[in-house]
Structure 1
């Protein structure tokens, strides 16, 4: 069993995949970017992070493993627990790598340090788009040197001098010819350099478009339909983080709390038509009160306890 493959499959579909008793892999979509030093262009992608506080089983990974391997839910959970135990043993002894996901090692405090892989882009809309290096544009400065000619006209020109072409006219004519030829040559050079750069850019663009057109999205392990038969557990005590008029603001608050490691969730709309978001929920009042006191000290003094079944 390669649990890393199943996690990778789910990361294409979901923003968060939790491995029970280990941690959660969270993705954040980032836009395309340019490295001005290496002249590299990078397609939009999903940035992968790891949160060791997300350990509670949400059923997603277990149900997927059970479906793919055609085993029961409890058997799939047992297989996952066995592999997680093997991971922890490996990490304790040396650096451990999950294929196509990233590597783990322990710091001096015994906490997991995660380095995501750069070889896989889990954003399906960017499939077929790889990084691209563009030749740097060369900017050539042309400095024109102008030679000023001083001429002194003779006070009393002789008959012989009258018949001769004045020297300054010869110099001026020669300078004009040289300048004209130089200008024509420079313009031709600029045109040739410009055409070369345009041709290179068009050639690279055609390669990218050809790659996209010829790409075929193939997954070695097609994802079967997932049927989640998980009994919804209700709670009576909820520590409220906030209530929001706009649902999008409630979603933003939820994501912030999840990244901090809380088992946060959106409870729904109250009688004032505000969407409530909780830090955590409990069935025990004592546990809820203890957690509320901790949150008031470390997070927000405005946190409060809601007693209602959700």
Structure 2
């Protein structure tokens, strides 16, 4: 017997709408974080589930997902889905309620229409998975400080305080010394003033002295024309015949040896090494050993797979749950051939994942 409700929960983590053929569609919607004033708690953001009875057409998503994970034909998976739908209707007729484990419960109202009550404890948002309600802490008000009664003081009530100037003793000795200096200066300026006389006049006549000094030089000197025609005797260069020229020592230039140029041989380019995990990631069909919400759990399974003889094991980059792939294959047939061998290590939850082609 296939547990259809288990695959319904898995699809609600990744899809926004999952249709139960001939029954209705389960829709997910985002609910922001909110505060419950009655309980005094903060509820984190959640992904809640709603139900639409009109969406009954089979889009094939649930049937395909079951056939891929249970490794059965599409017609056989479709039969299990139809059997599950009939079971829900029988529960509604006999018990008046049909419950889907982990998702919610269905009931019929007075008009005969289905009414869905979701399980509020279940959060289908993988990003907020595991968050619990937080109890709000009440802030205690600080103790009030006693008020101080301030009294107004008027200007008339203030006592006038008389400030008496501080009397400092004068230094009469300093005053007496200053008066003596002033009197002495006045006495010297009155009796020793200089008198105007010829001694203050200069006896130097610059024009008279210049004529007496220049005229004798003109009479004894040579006239201007003779000075112009006067020839300056040439100065003979004195040479020393006995002096021999000094030989400058020659510097020896070192001989440069020619070196043949040998072109360097380029080093051989090392071949690019691709790890087995990178090659496995490029394969279209991936053999998924498990899906997790936390990276730590996925890494633990990755280490265990490599220890059990799966060196190509790697973590798939995809939305939703974190998938751990044991190996990659080019064909779907080769992936299913290895599936039974992997179940001995990872259990019955192994399934084949087909990577979508990039458009």
Give TM-score scaled by structure 2 length.
Answer: 0.42
Larger radius of gyration: 2
Of structures 1 and 2, the one scoring higher in RCO (CA 8 A, sep 6+) is 1
Give TM-score scaled by structure 1 length.
Answer: 0.48
